[in-house]
Amino acid sequence: MFSNATLPSLFSGLLGIGGAASGGSQSSCVDFSPTALPGVSVAAATYYPANASVDISNLYMAINSSALPAFCRLELLVTTNETAGSFANTEVWLPDEWNGRMLTIGNGGFAGGADVLTLGTIAVPQGFAGVSTNTGHNSSSGDATWGGPHNDNALVDFGWRAVHQSVLAGKEVVKQYYNKAAKRSYYLGCSNGGRQGLKEVQLFPDSFDGIVVGAPATPVTGFIAWVSHTLQVTGTTTSPGFISRAVWTNVIAPEVLRQCDGLDGLQDGILNNPRACNFRPEPLTCRPGQNPTTCLTIAQLDTLNHQFTDYFESNQTFVFAGYLPGGETVYGGLWDNVSRDQGGSIDYYRYMVLNDTTWVNADYNSTLFKIAEDVNPGQANADDPDLLAFAAAPHNGKVLHYVGLADPLIPSGNSERYYGRVLAHTRAHSPDLNVDDFYRFFEVPGMAHWYRKHRRNGEADVHIVTQGGPGANAFGSLLQAPPPVLDAEHNVIGAIVRWVEEGVAPDTLVATKYNNDTPAGGVAFTRPLCKYPLTVRYKGGDETKASSFECV
């Protein structure tokens, strides 16, 4: 993903946040054996000198680079349930030049593999001791067959336990390796990783001092129900109402921009405030004899209206948010590529909820959502709005939450809804704490899910169709191109560190858009990201500079 030349120049500066602490060495790595740490053993210890070839892969993620600083890779076996004999494979990467902090990295989808890519592109180069786990199983992000039938222990590991046990093990290993405890503990995750971070601080408020969560896939029960519902709404590629990627891109997207692109002061192909867009698709209706690739049939209009509408079930029960205008160039690609009868959403009901391996998505109906809510496999839902134990004194934890407004996989309205619930709960239950004191939410105009496509060993999963989007999408989070500078304005990790350790809360961030979404293409433009509920508006000047925009 990143060239070898890119990493040293970009990451050499972040060790300056707080300064580098005492470090490790080859001898301390290969000889390391934790003491008085029951349930944790070292399966392998490997030392990598600076600029050594690091070629590591698992079923979820891979890294192949010779641009990393010197570090020690510990592969741990962490017991998650002694009675069941279950364990997680957990990686702890320990840089020689340690900044005194620990950074835990989450997973995407149903992944059963440590995120070695982010350990090697964010944690270690920026001086953090990095921790990531396979959550107790080995699988790709789109495979949940490991969940059953009736494998409840594995579900609990996935839901929360493997991450928690890995955090505890990671903290102690870091302490013993460097002969001092980490001064701060941070977290970074997106999608299911966003869910994991929220779940951990909801259950165990002391685990982290600050978390960065992107597009959290929670509640899982509502998210998977929305996927199954949308698969039925969109139909197959031969269904009358199916909308192809080409129609989304060439017919719907231009009409959305024609109606709404200038509402934020600039016609640039990006909707900075899609909620202000009262998009009406009826002008796209096919006339008699019109080429159907240039318009929408009545059946397709019905499909489109469903996808731009929040999903409610009986008695107006909210299930999950629908799409907002502005992501049409990425929305269609997802439903072109997702199979109707295999993959994560199907596996969820087959192996986690119903324990029925013959279930197909055509069988989905409103009762399934209620059944899944009652089962809550692995207690994975992380939608509790009570963050007071994490946020209040003396802990004073911080949350930095972001979401792409063009996210085709986990629509952004779900993040907005959770933030609103936390705000309401905080006001109702705390006499003096305000949500702004501990929780900042940033919407990213024109960004899709996570940021960019990724594919491991030819695997086809939903992430490969969600590349980029038209907006600025590099601000230091995982699976993004690195920002041009690693200060607290451009780098979300720097922002959370400064907030926790210096008390400087971020009101804005600066996101970068590269040509072709790669640093080698050069910077196309930068944009501010505004603290919710403010939105970006053009005020005049150079359209490629973030300084030409304001938060209103």
Q: Which residues are the active-site residues?
A: 191, 407, 449
Distance from chain centroid for Cα 248: 24
Beta strands of 11-144 (E only): which ranges?
Answer: 40-48, 54-57, 62-65, 71-81, 86-95, 101-105, 129-133
Strands (E), 53-108: 54-57, 62-65, 71-81, 86-95, 101-105
Peptide bond preceding 219: is omega within 30 degrees of 0, i.e. cis? yes
d(CA 447, CA 444): 6
Q: Residues 219, 311, 426, CA angle at the centre, nearest 5°?
A: 45
**Alpha carbon distance 126, 20 (integer Å):** 10
What single string gives the DSSP state of each residue in 207-238?
S-SEEEEES---SHHHHHHHHHHHHHHH--TT
| Dihedral angle computed from the Cα positions of residues 27, 33, 34 and 40, in that order, rounded to the nearest 10 degrees | 130
Residue 445 gets the label, from left (phi > 0), alpha (psi -120 to 50) or beta, of beta
Distance, CA of 483 to CA of 365 (rounded, Å): 44
DSSP secondary structure letter of residue 481: P
The length of the chain, given as a count of residues: 552
Q: Give the whole-angstrom CA distance, residue 40 versus residue 174.
A: 13
Q: Alpha-carbon distance 450 to 437, whole Å?
A: 26
Alpha carbons 105 and 122: distance in angstroms, whole number: 10
240 cis-preceded (ω within 30 degrees of 0) = no
Tokens encoding 421: 């619930």
Contacts of 430 (CB under 8 A, 6+ apart): 388, 392
Which is nearest to 1 in space by CA: 81, 121, 110, 93? 121
DSSP annotation of 282:
G
Q: For residue 72, what are the β-bridge partners?
A: 47, 94
Residue 126's alpha-carbon distances to 156, 184, 367, 491, in angstroms, are 32, 14, 48, 11
Tokens representing 376? 């809550």
Between CA 452 and CA 117 the distance in angstroms is 14
Dist. CA 239–CA 299, nearest whole Å: 9
